[in-house]
Amino acid sequence: MSERAYSAVPFADVRIIGPFWRERLETVLDRTIPSQHAKLKEVGILDSLKLPKPVPPLTIPRNSHGFTMQVFWDSDVGKWIEAASYALAHRRDADIEAKIDAIVEDLASAQSDDGYLNCWYNGREPEKRWTNLRDNHELYNAGHLLEGAIAYFRATGRRKMLDIMERYVDHIGSVFGYAPGQKRGYPGHQEIELALVKLYRLTGDRRRLDVAAYFIDERGRQPHYFTEEALARGEDPASYWAGTYEYNQSHIPVREQTRVVGHAVRAMYMASAMADLALELNDEGLKRACEALWRDVTTAQMYVTGGLGPKETNEGFTEPYDLPNETAYAETCASVALIFWAHRMLHLELDGRYADVMELALYNGALTGLARDGTHYFYSNPLESRGQHRRWAWHVCPCCTMNVSRLVASIAGYVLSTRADGVAFHLYGGFETTVTLAGVKVALSERSAYPWVGEVCIDVDPEAPAAFDLKLRIPGWAKGATAAVNGEPIKLEPVNGYATIHRLWRKGDAVTLDLKMAAERLYAHPNVRMDIGRAALRRGPVIYCVEEADNPGGAVQTLALPRLSRLEADMRPDLFGGVITLKTRAKRLVSGNGGNGGALYSTEPPTAREAALTAVPYYLWANRGSGSMQVWVAELED
């Protein structure tokens, strides 16, 4: 790294004042966090921490590979604590805190004398700990519990859970590593690496960073740990259900990886950890590996929504340009994890291409995972539906529920970054903070109706006059941008997606930025065979979809868009608390031309009748009952 780049301003230091994220945050605080606790109780996850003897029968049966998702339950608890802690930073809540403290008591009781802590293994098969890293998520669970502990400590100052987890991490550090007698293992599902870096940043304890770096560097080396481990269990390594170590990105060492493969969430968590370590260790090799993976995912393997991973069986990637719409898996967690990664890349190098993808995944691929009501979810996020998709109140694998709640509860942490001599705005939408720039405390207040309106006002209030950079992201989607300081137009010369205003800032300074937001069509690379002859609709950072609720008269798939029909933005205060829809002239394709009635196949093409088309933001789909939906609309010549 040429210079220590920008660091994110922590979410707890940023107040959300804009309507868009305020609404989502309030929903998560009021409805999502409490209802998730109730669900964790209801399905037995909280009780699973109590380790009764004998343990009760499995709630989730073992699948055909012999696994039960119950082994991952600790992680759900960790993620809920993390999400709830972010919520507490916004608004303390004695009831939620009591609930967390009760869980912490259970974890304390469940912890082994040597620090080991896994409720599945301690409760059911303590002798088998650390015998199946490939499948059984011990280190993944530890990572999520650790992230929860750190968040809870940061939100409340209570450190009992953090102490428990530090003891556990001490144990992990003693078990795994390069020293003689240590296991040369690493997680089947990456996650703990991120948590260890967070712990290092909290405590400064360098050993945590070393363990994280060990896990990343050891991954995929030969002899292959998962092969040795399977042999030690008496299993044939060739019978690995996933068929390939690409599934968990351990097929080759991570620095040699240039294609994003396998399970999408694992791939993104790994890449996030690689970016963290590249930064903390100033490791150019890891940075270059991150960049190669980034190029691959963003030029060949990402949905237009920022969704990742087309395939259900591996919950992940297949091959370049394979992006089917109706069967898209595009797990909510994968888009959340892409945001994590993009955010980290942005702090390796302040470049708008990272912020663009972060914003894309945020407003589209991730946000669609949480229903308007805050208590229903999507796990997979198809880009087309016949109406068969329903939002669900819970999921047998509830990973996505807490991933989206922890994202929303911490959204303010993605907004802006600082270094000694500058502040960079990545996202807009109404945020306030006070930061120290050039040694001076500076209050910053950004106000806008983003993402619906591209006009942004930023008040800059230093306690004393101070010279620093104010960097404004000019999104890749903007059809131009203008700005003024205190009413005086200034020239914007964005470099790598950020325009810098350097001046001696004084109390009362006001910056206005006008990002030109136009409704427009996007076309996929023609190698994306599913989208040939089709267009997606975008306005600003928001990707739109066509839903049957707004377009009665048959499946929306029979609507086609004339190449020249103009897209009009239409503010709809009546809809979802106020959103902009897109309206245009379209054609409805109907059969029946030339007397072929309802024939399934005909030598006559369908008839195109005049019709109107209304598109709504994709992230809001399936909030009005079921019906057909699609993102990629067929185009017609006029």
Per CB under 8 A, residues contacting a second copy are 63-64, 298-300, 302, 304, 319, 322, 324, 326-327, 384, 386, 520-529, 532-536, 554-555, 557-558, 560, 589-591, 598-606, 630, 634-637
Minimum Å gap between C-beta 607 and a second copy is 9
Coil, helix or strand for 592? Answer: coil
Looking at beta carbons only, is 440 or 522 nearer to a second copy?
A: 522
Work out whether the CA dihedral 406, 407, 408, 412 comes out positive or negative.
Answer: positive
What does the CA dihedral 550, 555, 556, 560 come to, rounded to 10 degrees? -130
Looking at beta carbons only, is 154 or 587 nearer to a second copy?
A: 587
C-alpha–C-alpha distance, residues 156 and 145, integer Å: 16
Question: How many other CB atoms are there within 10 angstroms of residue 333's CB atom?
Answer: 27
Minimum Å gap between C-beta 428 and a second copy is 22
Looking at beta carbons only, is 292 or 532 nearer to a second copy?
A: 532
Looking at beta carbons only, is 485 or 634 nearer to a second copy?
A: 634
Minimum Å gap between C-beta 67 and a second copy is 12
C-alpha–C-alpha distance, residues 616 and 570, integer Å: 10
Minimum Å gap between C-beta 529 and a second copy is 3
Which segments of 178-218 does DSSP mark as H helices, in order?
192-203, 206-218
Minimum Å gap between C-beta 494 and a second copy is 17
Looking at beta carbons only, is 276 or 384 nearer to a second copy?
A: 384
> 440-448 and 416-419 as β-strands: parallel, antiparallel, unpaired?
unpaired
Looking at beta carbons only, is 150 or 357 nearer to a second copy?
A: 357
Looking at beta carbons only, is 132 or 298 nearer to a second copy?
A: 298
Minimum Å gap between C-beta 571 and a second copy is 23
Work out whether the CA dihedral 159, 161, 163, 165 comes out positive or negative.
Answer: negative
- Cα dist. 470→15, 18, 171, 438, 490 in Å? 19, 20, 45, 12, 13
DSSP result, 379-428: SS--SEESS----BS--SSTHHHHHHHHHHHTGGGGSEEEETTEEEE---
Minimum Å gap between C-beta 304 and a second copy is 5
Looking at beta carbons only, is 457 or 522 nearer to a second copy?
A: 522
Minimum Å gap between C-beta 332 and a second copy is 21
Minimum Å gap between C-beta 630 and a second copy is 8
C-alpha–C-alpha distance, residues 290 and 420, integer Å: 26
Rg (alpha carbons) of the chain, rounded to whole number = 25
Minimum Å gap between C-beta 466 and a second copy is 40
C-alpha–C-alpha distance, residues 114 and 146, integer Å: 17
Looking at beta carbons only, is 73 or 303 nearer to a second copy?
A: 303
Minimum Å gap between C-beta 435 and a second copy is 34
Token pair listed for 231:
């042999």
Looking at beta carbons only, is 237 or 253 nearer to a second copy?
A: 237
Minimum Å gap between C-beta 524 and a second copy is 6
Minimum Å gap between C-beta 415 and a second copy is 25
Looking at beta carbons only, is 131 or 596 nearer to a second copy?
A: 596
DSSP result, 286-342: HHHHHHHHHHHHHHHSB-TTS-B--BTTTTB--STT---STT----HHHHHHHHHHH
C-alpha–C-alpha distance, residues 134 and 227, integer Å: 9
Nearest-CA neighbor of 304 among 596, 537, 52, 79? 537
- The kind and range of the H/E element at 603 are none
Work out whether the CA dihedral 183, 188, 190, 196 comes out positive or negative.
Answer: negative
Minimum Å gap between C-beta 523 and a second copy is 5
Nearest-CA neighbor of 195 among 169, 175, 220, 161? 169
- Cα dist. 62→43, 67, 69, 338, 435 in Å? 16, 5, 8, 30, 51
The answer to whether 46 touches 77, Cβ cutoff 8 Å, is yes
User: In DSSP terms, which residues pair with 444 in a beta bridge?
Assistant: 433, 460
Question: How many other CB atoms are there within 10 angstroms of residue 61's CB atom?
Answer: 9
Looking at beta carbons only, is 101 or 520 nearer to a second copy?
A: 520
Looking at beta carbons only, is 248 or 558 nearer to a second copy?
A: 558
Minimum Å gap between C-beta 604 and a second copy is 7
Looking at beta carbons only, is 486 or 527 nearer to a second copy?
A: 527
Tally the residues of the chain.
Answer: 638
Minimum Å gap between C-beta 310 and a second copy is 11
Token pair listed for 274:
């690689």
> 607-617 and 488-490 as β-strands: parallel, antiparallel, unpaired?
unpaired
C-alpha–C-alpha distance, residues 306 and 330, integer Å: 9
Question: How many other CB atoms are there within 10 angstroms of residue 271's CB atom?
Answer: 28
Looking at beta carbons only, is 185 or 309 nearer to a second copy?
A: 309
C-alpha–C-alpha distance, residues 468 and 464, integer Å: 12
Looking at beta carbons only, is 8 or 330 nearer to a second copy?
A: 330
> 384-385 and 629-630 as β-strands: parallel, antiparallel, unpaired?
antiparallel
Which segments of 112-261 does DSSP mark as H helices, in order?
119-124, 133-136, 138-156, 160-175, 192-203, 206-218, 225-232
